[in-house]
């Protein structure tokens, strides 16, 4: 039941608390529920028994104000915070380029989300973000942020059986060498990783994650460019032959919007009917919005599971481990379709589903 904000001028508030005690509820429990001290609950109850409702008019019992209950850190508050944090501050009326804690607090309050500034800090820090590190991008500066996100959400909400949606990105390049990380160690033993090491080679994994079936299409690239992306599109196109349409979504890297790539996609679409291949439609993510790229969660889980704490002898050995990881993952989700994560994949950061509250790119595992 909603309480009056000021118990000093509202005897009903005190009456409500006392009625709970008289109904048989423990006084300590009532005190916790209404955020007052046990001493105050007992004092009000005693005065009611001796003076009736007139005892509630006494102002000596504090607190006079019963605080509103704030939304505590959890999934509900986290979703509200990051749905707002991923939008530019100017969309909420602030003439700023970055969010401040006070701005977040006031905007959430306008939207009916009541919480404390401390709770906001807890949610943001728990997600692995820090205010002072510029390399962690919390906010997209894309002027068409909402339009692009709404277009992706609209397609995903109405995806047909003969359609597929792909989240595309590249992992790497990363050097093959001894790597650090957290691992169980016996007492008195500390694992040491040399600061300076000779690289045994490097790898780039170019991959596409199909969201509805949770399958990975991938290959190993020599570099990041439009030609490699075109190669991935051709592989996806052939693997999903018989589908009517496929949607491709990726970040704002320059090779994802080059004339070469767009020309190649136009060529594929021109031959789609002849090749019995799907039509291709591109739905780019907003600029600086890697946190919405779902495949980043898979890459982070893979890095945590088989890259961190590794010391592969060669590029071939590293490729073997990555290939096994992706093949095991594809096989598991093909046999038992379910959301990604909470399995041998190293607890992927978020489920393989597009959401504006996602923080897919884990800065700790890239």
Confidence of residue 346 (pLDDT cuts 50, 70, 90): very low
36-61 average pLDDT score: 76
5 has pLDDT over 60: no
114-140 average pLDDT score: 74
18-33 average pLDDT score: 83
Confidence of residue 340 (pLDDT cuts 50, 70, 90): very low
Q: Which of 245, 231, 247, 207 is nearest to 327 (CA)?
A: 207
* Structure-token pair, residue 252: 């704002």
Displacement of CA 45 from its chain's centroid (Å): 48
**Alpha carbon of 103 to those of 92, 97, 219: distances in Å?**
9, 12, 44
Residues making up the chain, counted from first to last: 366
Q: Rounded to 10 degrees, what is the CA torsion of 304, 309, 315, 318?
A: -50
345-364 average pLDDT score: 55
SS3 74: coil
104 contacts: CB under 8 Å, gap ≥ 6: 81, 84, 85, 120
Distance between CA atoms of residues 19 and 363, nearest Å: 52
């Amino acid at each position: 039941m909603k309480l009056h904000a000021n118990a000093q001028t509202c005897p009903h508030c005190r009456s409500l608390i006392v009625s709970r005690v008289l109904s048989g509820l423990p006084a300590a429990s009532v005190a916790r529920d209404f955020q007052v001290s046990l001493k105050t609950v007992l004092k009000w109850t005693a005065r009611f028994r001796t003076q009736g409702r007139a005892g509630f008019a006494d102002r000596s019992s504090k607190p006079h104000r019963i605080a509103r209950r704030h939304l505590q850190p959890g999934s509900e508050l986290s979703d509200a915070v990051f749905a707002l944090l991923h939008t530019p501050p100017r969309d909420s009326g602030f003439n700023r380029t970055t969010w401040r804690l006070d701005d977040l607090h006031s905007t959430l309050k306008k939207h009916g989300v009541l919480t404390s500034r401390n709770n906001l800090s807890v949610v943001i820090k728990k997600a692995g973000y820090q205010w002072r590190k510029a390399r962690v991008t919390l906010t997209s500066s894309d002027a068409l942020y909402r339009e692009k996100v709404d277009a992706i959400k609209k397609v995903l909400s109405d995806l047909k059986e003969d359609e597929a949606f792909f989240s595309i990105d590249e992992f790497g390049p990363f050097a093959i060498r001894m790597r650090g990380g957290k691992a169980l160690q016996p007492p008195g033993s500390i694992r040491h990783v040399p600061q300076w090491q000779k690289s045994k080679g490097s790898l780039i994994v170019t991959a596409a994650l199909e969201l509805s079936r949770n399958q990975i299409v991938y290959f190993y690239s020599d570099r990041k460019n439009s030609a490699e992306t075109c190669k991935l599109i051709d592989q996806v196109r052939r693997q999903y032959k018989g589908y009517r349409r496929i949607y491709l979504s990726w970040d704002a890297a320059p090779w994802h919007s080059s004339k070469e790539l767009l020309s190649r996609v136009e060529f594929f679409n021109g031959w789609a009917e002849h090749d019995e291949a799907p039509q291709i439609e591109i739905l780019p993510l907003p600029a600086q919005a890697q946190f919405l790229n779902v495949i980043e969660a898979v890459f982070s889980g893979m890095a945590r599971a088989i890259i961190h704490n590794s010391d592969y002898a060669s590029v071939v050995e590293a490729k073997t481990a990555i290939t096994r990881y992706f093949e095991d993952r594809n096989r598991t989700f093909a046999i038992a379709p379910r959301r990604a994560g909470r399995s041998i994949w190293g607890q992927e950061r978020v489920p393989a589903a597009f959401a504006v509250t996602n923080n897919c790119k884990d800065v700790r595992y890239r």
